[in-house]
């Protein structure tokens, strides 16, 4: 029997205090805090691999990560409590299970679901501060729904990806969005994006551009053009980070 056990972690976090998921030199990313919790628990460094990056300020309801730990240290059922003892209150491990040795939080994933929340009212409810995009102006929901249809399916989404430093940009910018749904409950609009993968800031740029059209400040032809030009031109209308949630990773 191997003396190394691979754990699968389900993690939720309020993204506001952190510089995203990915480890930073300043050690103030979510990944840094989870790795520090492992080190404090067993006294040695453990590498934690997430399903993907979330930007600074973006929340997660169900980030998935994996980590390899010595088998003899703790029972699987004890890891959740042990890690949460050392994590800030804005990060919680919701579940820990034994994973197959070849499971990889990122490379085993076949898709993700993101949710974007918009508070469409003149006044923002105080308990939604930092958790939604406050949009006081009127939105044409028919235009918004028409825009969702344009974005579904397989497209080159380079026009909806923020620029990255050399060496970090995605070489392949073709992605498939299986479904985008819009729901409304009172002042709250919720967009749900399900796709096989998303580029850097893609969901925020999609949402920002859709809202721009729904405000009457851009035509739906703008979306057509961005998809057709395959990155020759990019949208600059990015929705703020605080409305975005990593909702589920699909395996």
pLDDT (tens digit, 9 = 90+) per residue, 155-170?
A: 999 999 998 666 556 6
For residues 80 and 18, membership in a common domain is answered with: yes
* Integer Cα distance of 37 and 56 in angstroms: 20
Both tokens of 189, joined, read: 């609009």
Active-site residue 55, yes or no? Answer: yes
Stretch 66-81: mean pLDDT: 94
Q: Taking the model in full, what pTM does it have?
A: 0.94
DSSP state of 78: G
Q: Is the pLDDT reported for residue 218 higher than 60? A: yes
For residues 126 and 162, membership in a common domain is answered with: yes
pLDDT band (50, 70, 90) for residue 240: very high
Residue with tokens 């934690």: 48
121 within some domain: yes
Q: Residue 171's domain is classified under what CATH number?
A: 3.30.70.660
For residues 164 and 66, membership in a common domain is answered with: no
For residues 55 and 179, membership in a common domain is answered with: no
Last residue of a domain, one of 70, 98, 126: 98
Q: Is the pLDDT reported for residue 215 higher than 50? A: yes
* Integer Cα distance of 70 and 48 in angstroms: 14
Long-range residue pairs from 20-27, CB within 8 A, at least 24 positions apart, any chain: 20/53, 20/54, 20/55, 20/56, 20/57, 20/58, 21/50, 21/52, 21/53, 21/54, 21/60, 21/63, 22/50, 22/53
Last residue of a domain, one of 44, 74, 98: 98
pLDDT band (50, 70, 90) for residue 117: very high
For residues 87 and 130, membership in a common domain is answered with: no
Catalytic, out of 55, 68, 140, 172: 55
Residue 46 belongs to domain spanning? 4-98
* Integer Cα distance of 131 and 58 in angstroms: 9
Q: Is the pLDDT reported for residue 72 higher than 80? A: no
DSSP state of 89: T
105 within some domain: no
**How many helices (H) and strands (E) would you count in the chain?**
5, 10
Integer CA distances (angstroms), 211 to 149, 152, 217, in order: 14, 16, 9
For residues 74 and 125, membership in a common domain is answered with: no
Instruction: Give the number of other Cβ atoms within 10 Å of residue 94's Cβ.
Output: 13
In this prediction, residue 168 carries a pLDDT of: 58
Domain count for the chain, please give it: 2
103 within some domain: no
**Total length of the chain:** 251
């Amino acid at each position: 029997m191997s003396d190394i056990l691979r754990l699968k972690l389900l993690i939720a976090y309020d993204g506001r205090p952190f510089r995203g998921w990915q480890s930073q030199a300043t050690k103030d990313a979510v990944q840094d805090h989870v790795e520090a919790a492992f080190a404090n628990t067993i006294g040695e460094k453990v590498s934690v691999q997430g399903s993907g990056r979330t930007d600074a300020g973006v929340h997660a309801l169900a980030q998935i990560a994996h980590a390899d730990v010595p088998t003899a240290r703790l029972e699987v059922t004890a890891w959740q409590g042990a890690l949460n003892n050392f994590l800030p209150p804005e990060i919680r491990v919701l579940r820990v299970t034994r994973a197959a040795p070849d499971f990889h939080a990122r490379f085993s994933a076949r898709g993700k679901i993101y949710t974007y929340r918009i508070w469409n009212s003149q006044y923002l409810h105080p308990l939604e501060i930092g958790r939604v995009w406050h949009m006081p102006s009127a939105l044409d929901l028919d235009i918004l729904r028409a825009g969702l249809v344009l974005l579904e399916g397989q497209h080159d989404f380079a026009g909806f990806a923020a620029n990255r430093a050399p060496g970090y940009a995605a070489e392949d910018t073709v992605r498939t969005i299986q479904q985008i749904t819009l729901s409304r409950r009172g002042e709250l609009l919720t967009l749900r994006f399900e796709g096989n993968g998303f580029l850097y800031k893609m969901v925020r740029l999609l949402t920002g551009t859709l809202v721009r059209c729904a405000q009457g400040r851009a035509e739906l032809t703008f979306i057509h053009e961005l998809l057709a030009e395959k990155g020759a031109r990019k949208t600059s209308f990015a929705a703020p980070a605080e409305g975005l949630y990593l909702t589920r990773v699909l395996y």
